[in-house]
Every structure is written in C-alpha cells, then in structure tokens.
Amino acid sequence: MKKKFMLEGLDCANCTAKIEKEVNALKGVESASVSFMTTKMIIEGDEDKMADIIVAAEKIVNKYEPHVKFKAL
C-alpha cells in the first residue's frame, strides 16, 4: 500500500534526511521517501500496519519539525 503526504512548512534539508531514515526504520515500512524540494513524503508498507505507520511517521516529523503540518494527499 502506498500513501502520500504533504509536509507543509518543511524548511530543513538535514531534518528531511533524518525523517526519511527514521520512517524507513519503522516496522511494516517497505520504503519511504521525503523530498525537501516538493515537501512530499511517500510511504509504501504493509496495509495492515499502515494506520500505525502513519501515526509514527507524524510523530517523527514533529520531532524534527514541530511546526510542519502533516496532510494526506
């Protein structure tokens, strides 16, 4: 299953790399990519775990960029 998100207000390229690394390490994630230029995140993973993955991914984003708005596309 693939989900796409807009990370409104993302303004740190270094943070983007950290977010991508941590989201990729989540259980059930097959791949995750975060683009600093487009401020989009794409997560591919286990459909049964996707709800938990999304919650965890949002927490990771907020850890590095607390002001970012995490919106599903």
- pLDDT at 3 (0 to 100): 98
The per-residue pLDDT string of the chain (73 residues; one tens digit each, 9 = 90 and over) reads 999 999 999 999 999 999 999 999 999 999 999 999 999 999 999 999 999 999 999 999 999 999 999 999 9
Full set of structural domains in the chain with CATH: 2-72 (3.30.70.100)
Q: Is the pTM of this model over 0.85?
A: yes
- pLDDT at 72 (0 to 100): 96
- pLDDT at 57 (0 to 100): 98
Three-state SS string across the chain, please? Answer: CEEEEEEECCCCHHHHHHHHHHHHCCCCEEEEEEECCCCEEEEEECHHHHHHHHHHHHHHHHHHCCCCEEEEC
